[in-house]
Amino acid sequence: MIRISCPYCGLRDHDEFTYIGDATKNRPTDDASDEDWFNFVYIRDNPRGPHQEYWQHIQGCRAFVKVLRNTLTHEVLATGLPGDVLSNKISEGKNEPSAK
Amino acid sequence: MVEYSVFSLISNALSGHKNWGRAWRDPEPKKHYDVIIIGGGGHGIASSFYLAKNHGIRSVAVLEKGWLGGGNTGRNTTIVRSNYMLDENAHFYEKSLQLWEQLSHELNFNVMFSQRGVINLIHSDSQMDAFTRRGNTMRLNGIDAELYDREQVRRFLPYLDYSKNARFPIYGGLLQPRGGTARHDAVAWGLARGADRQGVDIIQNCEVTGFKMQGNRITAVETTRGEIGCGTVGLAVAGHTGHLAAKLNMKLPIESHILQAFVTEPIKPMVDTVVTFGAGHFYVSQSDKGGLVFGGDLDMYNSYAQRGNMPMIEHVMSAGVAMMPNLSRLRVQRHWGGIMDMSMDGSPIIGKSPIDNLYLNCGWCYGGFKATPGSGWGFAHTIANGKPHPLNAALNLDRFRLGRTVDERGAGPYPNRH
Ligand SMILES: Cc1cc2nc3c(=O)[nH]c(=O)nc-3n(C[C@H](O)[C@H](O)[C@H](O)COP(=O)(O)OP(=O)(O)OC[C@H]3O[C@@H](n4cnc5c(N)ncnc54)[C@H](O)[C@@H]3O)c2cc1C
Ligand SMILES: [Zn+2]
């Protein structure tokens, strides 16, 4: 079980959440180029390592949570609200849980 | 290398089976190959086999970071079928099924392809309509399909739950009689031996770690066993595609996800076909050793970890027991995971890449085992001719940019929903 720290509810099991997907993709403006739309809809970095992603706390407070997670080890490195910029606190040497 | 036959069997039996030769060589990498295939799974090896056999290209190496077939080829639930509806998929997978039907003979190696049928269960009126349409489309495409009603399914699969309490009542099923299973390891070994006999170098414990470029061409691949020069490169690394693409500054319409599978303790023969239960996402067959082999859905989040998580194990078990209550009496002996190359439309990519001499074979999602011979056959054609065969032409990378996706399930650009 992966444990994800919801900014509102604290540390919870991941099966309380629904995986939404890559959090680095921002919707282009309506008049953006085809290339921008193509990149938004279809292209993914798909990194082996830290990945920014959205999970929704669907069986809790229903908030969208931004998660920085290592796709190779499943380790959650940081969590926050969708607008937060997440830094990899664990790799920076701080080991405390990243919940606010 | 020895031809397998009843005579070689008898003569080796007389000497106590101590003198069988190697099935394939274990060569040192050469300085240069005309074609380098990265990834020694079924697809990579099949590609090298058909490059040599159909196109006479023999300066070929398959580079495998671990052992042959140790990726998804050796981890899958081995279901083979061609019950697709969209033309772009149907004809390609049917070609693959036809290659399966002659593969053991072609390789002089028993891949234990068993056409025991694959049946998809139907649980509602609307599913009945949808599967009737699918079955009719298949038959119009010359692919076998039979629609069963509830009573026919009950006679065929007496061990499912037909009670009033069934979580999803069974309305019928769509059967593809020519579908079935094959022995995954034998497929990798048989193809490796077949490729090796034609001069292909199969190099294990050789991880590709980087690329040497000149302009828009790859001139050499860097590996844990040194640098190897190349004419053309074929990438067939399934779930690891994203990782290697990143080394080429290439971003693809693919996400890597984990899929788990399970096998129970062996029991007497019970499941003599392949049953799939889409409503609960569960599918099961029985191996020749007697274990029930089954699987379900992805764990759903991006992963390169090759090991799954408990919630999905519980989900798969409960779906299985809902369909087949007697499953609850069995012990699961092993479970494992593999990394799926989930594409944005659920269909594979076999074709050119933005790099001049690199070809892509990826995006197989959880259905690439059945494609093994077809994928190798089409990929070899594409590499040898510099352009795709009509059967895999629609499965190109450009389709995403052009909006011509091949979305069999109609799920949209969400890789974990296909
Ligand atoms: C649990 C599970 C169940 C499945 N069930 C089915 C099924 O019932 N029917 C079906 O049709 N399909 C199924 N699939 C999908 C199927 O297994 C795959 O699509 C197919 O086997 C892919 O074959 P491949 O040769 O492309 O990949 P793989 O067999 O994964 O081969 C890729 C190889 O590339 C190697 N590699 C990776 N990186 C490097 C590197 N840097 N250098 C060198 N080598 C590298 C890997 O070690 C690996 O051996 C299932 C998959 C899983 C995991
Ligand atoms: Zn919450």
Q: Assess whether B102 and B245 both reside in one domain.
A: yes
B64 CB under 6 A from ligand 1? Answer: yes
B99 CB under 6 A from ligand 1? Answer: no
Task: Please state whether beta strands B118-122 and B274-277 pair in parallel, antiparallel, or not at all (unpaired).
Answer: parallel
Q: Is B213 on the interface with A (CB under 8 A)?
A: no
A55-81: pLDDT as tens digits: 999 999 999 999 999 999 999 999 999
CATH of residue A11: 3.30.2270.10
Query: Interior CA angle at B198 toward B196 and B199, to 5°?
Result: 65
Q: Assess whether B237 and B261 both reside in one domain.
A: no
CATH of residue B324: 3.30.9.10
Is residue A69 a part of any domain in this protein? yes
Is residue A98 a part of any domain in this protein? no
Q: Which atom of ligand 1 is nearest to the CA of B369?
A: 11
Helices (H), B201-296: 241-247
**B325 Cα to chain A: minimum distance (Å):** 25
Report how far residue B283's alpha carbon sits from residue B324's, in angstroms, rounded to the nearest whole number.
11
Is residue B4 a part of any domain in this protein? no
Q: Assess whether B234 and B159 both reside in one domain.
A: no
- Predicted local distance difference test score (pLDDT) of residue B336: 97
Q: Assess whether B214 and B154 both reside in one domain.
A: no
Residue ranges making up the domain that contains A61: 3-80
- Predicted local distance difference test score (pLDDT) of residue A100: 38
CATH of residue B100: 3.50.50.60
Is residue B85 a part of any domain in this protein? yes
B370 CB under 6 A from ligand 1? Answer: yes
Is residue A95 a part of any domain in this protein? no
Reading the block at residue B368, the tokens are 């690439």
Q: Assess whether B249 and B335 both reside in one domain.
A: no
Closest CA to B230 of B61, B49, B57, B53: B61
Residues of A with CB under 8 A from a CB of B: 1-2, 13-15, 19, 21-22, 34, 38-39, 41-48, 51, 53, 55, 69, 71-74
- Predicted local distance difference test score (pLDDT) of residue B204: 98
> Which among A13, A14, A51 has the least Cβ separation from residue B302?
A51
Q: Is B247 on the interface with A (CB under 8 A)?
A: no
Q: Distance, CA B296 to ligand 1 centroid (Å)? A: 17
Chain A residues in contact with B245 by the CB 8 A cut-off are 46
- Predicted local distance difference test score (pLDDT) of residue A97: 44
Final residue of a structural domain among B341, B357, B388 = B341
**How many folded domains does chain A comprise?**
1
**How many folded domains does chain B comprise?**
2
Contact B302 A74 (CB under 8 A): no
Q: Assess whether B193 and B241 both reside in one domain.
A: yes
Is residue B262 a part of any domain in this protein? yes
Closest CA to B276 of B363, B367, B164, B411: B367
- Predicted local distance difference test score (pLDDT) of residue A95: 43
Q: Assess whether B363 and B386 both reside in one domain.
A: yes
Q: Distance, CA A60 to ligand 2 centroid (Å)? A: 5
B45 CB under 6 A from ligand 1? Answer: no
Chain A residues in contact with B309 by the CB 8 A cut-off are 1-2, 14, 74
Report how far residue B286's alpha carbon sits from residue B291's, in angstroms, rounded to the nearest whole number.
6
Is residue A26 a part of any domain in this protein? yes
- Predicted local distance difference test score (pLDDT) of residue A96: 44
B101-131: pLDDT as tens digits: 999 999 999 999 999 999 999 999 999 999 9
Final residue of a structural domain among B341, B369, B384 = B341
Count helices and strands (H / E) in chain A. 1, 6
Residue ranges making up the domain that contains B310: 118-179+256-341
Q: Assess whether B372 and B384 both reside in one domain.
A: yes
**Among all ligands shown, which has an atom nearest to the Cα of A81?**
2
Whose tokens are 């809809």? That residue is A41
List all residues 6 or more positions away from A3 whose beta carbon is below 8 Å from its beta carbon.
A11, A12, A13, A14, A76
Reading the block at residue B30, the tokens are 């050469």
Is residue B408 a part of any domain in this protein? no
Is it the case that residue A27 has pLDDT exceeding 70? yes
Chain B residues in contact with A68 by the CB 8 A cut-off are none
- Predicted local distance difference test score (pLDDT) of residue B278: 87
Low-confidence ranges of chain B (pLDDT < 50): none
Q: Assess whether B91 and B202 both reside in one domain.
A: yes
Report how far residue A80's alpha carbon sits from residue B329's, in angstroms, rounded to the nearest whole number.
44
Is it the case that residue A98 has pLDDT exceeding 80? no
**Among all ligands shown, which has an atom nearest to the Cα of B238?**
1
Residue in chain B closest to A41 (alpha carbons) equals B413
Is residue B15 a part of any domain in this protein? no
Instruction: Name the amino acid, one letter, at B84.
Output: Y
Final residue of a structural domain among B297, B325, B341 = B341
- Report the DSSP beta bridge partners of residue B183: none
Q: Which residue's alpha carbon is at the smallest distance from atom 49 of ligand 1?
A: B71
Backbone dihedral angles phi then psi of residue B3, each to the nearest 5 degrees: -80, 130
- Predicted local distance difference test score (pLDDT) of residue A88: 75
Chain A residues in contact with B400 by the CB 8 A cut-off are 38, 42-43
Report how far residue B44's alpha carbon sits from residue B40's, in angstroms, rounded to the nearest whole number.
5
Chain B residues in contact with A51 by the CB 8 A cut-off are 302
Reading the block at residue B85, the tokens are 């509806």
C-beta of residue B357 within 8 angstroms of C-beta of residue B217:
yes
